[in-house]
Structure 1
């Protein structure tokens, strides 16, 4: 086997491989031998079938597997000799081997760019001080009250209004026929909280218990259900009852039920401590970003485009999830797939550049990641999502995600090193908008 390396760009390599007919025959013979051991062909004892018969019967499988196995062996061997680690998947351009013929193929891949690192230790950065506004603590207390509230039926004869919880039956009709999937009984609808279409709430607001209304309802053009988007239906609603939230008093019993605190002050202290911890991580993250942006500004290099495209894919999936949680779809943005990708390209390129710079710093500092550190990240993911740790780990291993995860941990270590070696000046927090 002989090969020639072509540098397509600073980050892309193409390797052309030439394989002699002798090596082709050896690869085919090895695969035929494996098939011959288990071949069960009428007229021959198992394991005694002539190689020519085995090759004729299983030709497609044998030639395909022999080609794949030989290419994989070569790629591992060549990359080891070149001391290169592909960042992206390896693209192979090859036809199937043929007996009595030389075999040639090529494979290409992208690698990390080579660049000189600027100074990344001893940098100066400003970081906002963390100051707790008492109103922020009160806002959390109020959210806890809302979550602990008990609903009670309002006995007073009055119309449903914003802030109430309406207990309703509803059914959509189109052309006089009931529509499947757009109906419910004794459904509790909070009014004015933005959990449903405003047009639907408008039908309910003003109704009194026992009343039935039927109004036209047009779904938004960007509605998540494509079959309903822009469609007009006749919505029939019956109001059974009106409920209100009965908020608990903020006292020591409330503090105990909210988390086992002995007093309201203990609860407020815990909220403040949690806020300070969370806020410190945020302002630290902002300071780290400023440090990294300053380092990146001094470096210019070509980005591996396959990695950029993968990052764009990830960002669009995240955007799709965010829109779906709002009851919308990607189509609601009014962009073509190509336009969406271009709009996300600059952010993706910044993310990829950040990762490559941090990994270069990690390499320069000889930083390493232990398997236990990767497991710890997976354990935190499992705890936050309610999934089983072993299931998540198996998924990452089966989908070749362990190396990217390890790189992420390495990048985090490099960022922490930059921050720890920086001169951090604490400054007053910026004024809130409209303050």
Structure 2
């Protein structure tokens, strides 16, 4: 984020450069915007489009074909799209792109010194910044270890405990998981047409996710009931304050938003599951993953 992009007008494009391009795509002399209007704008063409030149970046062999191209120069770039290309109108087609280089820019990183540290963390020196980064890395490692323990315990419980999931609850959870997967893919730029083509794959994935999630919740609820794990008002208040801080709003506003969404019970549910996992981690011995063993220490 602190890097500068410096104009390099005197030479042609090289791998690693950032090119500012005007380009327009066509197939059999017809604009891609007409052949596949639902396709990404970046597939159709664009003005002042920034492209980082790197192997396998953007379209197949696109970057390789503009190497050496200079500012103001126009080239024809030919791209062979694969047979399994997600936009079916373009699958297996040969696309022609008229590409004009407007600017060539080189990414220049600033010197690593106290001045840079002050920009990244006002009032901090380079030494302070290094300590902060080391602390964050250590915290991330501990977090990963905890998540791995939880995953291993849940896997063990799934293997040891077998029961039928209520069909109605499983159906509802599958519907919810499917909505999450669709939303996640849309945020990544996947079109509705592409989602339709992957419908069976998405439904199967949602069903597996829902079954795993529902079984985990049932098991953890049973353990919480047996071990008298409870959620207190203070637990909920703390979680609301934490969420409010994340979104930079007041706790009162966060509480009202949760109430409007009828989501306070969901908050309590997540806290209960988290406390139950914490109870398990405190009361079982988790062996290395390759041994795949969880031993109970306390009754």
Tell me the residue number matched to 1:150.
4
The alignment partner of 1:148 has SS state of: coil
**Structure 2 matches for 1:107-122, cutoff 5 A?**
none
- Equivalents in 2 of 1:231, 1:380: separation in Å? 51
Q: 1:349/1:387 Cα in 2 relative to 1: closer, same or farther (>3 Å)? A: farther
**Structure 2 matches for 1:69-218, cutoff 5 A?**
147-157=1-11, 159-173=12-26, 175-176=29-30, 179=33, 181=41, 182-192=44-54, 196-217=58-79
Equivalent residue for 1:365, pick from 213, 223, 227? 227
- Equivalents in 1 of 2:218, 2:32: separation in Å? 57
- Equivalents in 2 of 1:199, 1:388: separation in Å? 51
Q: When the two structures are superposed, what TM-score results if normalisation uses the length of structure 1?
A: 0.53
The worse-fitting range, judged by mean Cα deviation, of 254-263 and 272-281 is 254-263
Q: Would you say the 8 A contact 1:165–1:190 is kept in 2?
A: yes
Tell me the residue number matched to 1:238.
100
The worse-fitting range, judged by mean Cα deviation, of 236-245 and 371-380 is 371-380
Q: Would you say the 8 A contact 2:25–2:95 is kept in 1?
A: yes
**Structure 2: any 5+ residue segments left out of the alignment?**
35-40, 291-299
Tell me the residue number matched to 1:306.
168
Q: Would you say the 8 A contact 1:224–1:324 is kept in 2?
A: no
Post-superposition offset of 1:393: 5.7
Q: 1:315/1:386 Cα in 2 relative to 1: closer, same or farther (>3 Å)? A: farther
**Structure 2 matches for 1:229-308, cutoff 5 A?**
232-260=94-122, 262-308=124-170
Compare CA radii of gyration and give the structure with the larger one: 1
Post-superposition offset of 1:268: 1.9
Q: Would you say the 8 A contact 1:222–1:331 is kept in 2?
A: no
Count of matched residue positions in the alignment of Structure 1 and Structure 2: 281
Q: Are 2:217 and 1:355 aligned?
A: yes
Post-superposition offset of 1:412: 0.8
**Structure 1: any 5+ residue segments left out of the alignment?**
1-146, 430-435
Tell me the residue number matched to 2:277.
415
Tell me the residue number matched to 2:265.
403
- The structure whose RCO (Cα within 8 Å, separation 6+) is larger is 1
Q: 1:225/1:378 Cα in 2 relative to 1: closer, same or farther (>3 Å)? A: farther
Post-superposition offset of 1:245: 0.8
- Equivalents in 2 of 1:287, 1:408: separation in Å? 18
The worse-fitting range, judged by mean Cα deviation, of 403-412 and 322-331 is 322-331
The alignment partner of 1:311 has SS state of: helix
Post-superposition offset of 1:163: 0.4
Q: Would you say the 8 A contact 1:222–1:332 is kept in 2?
A: no
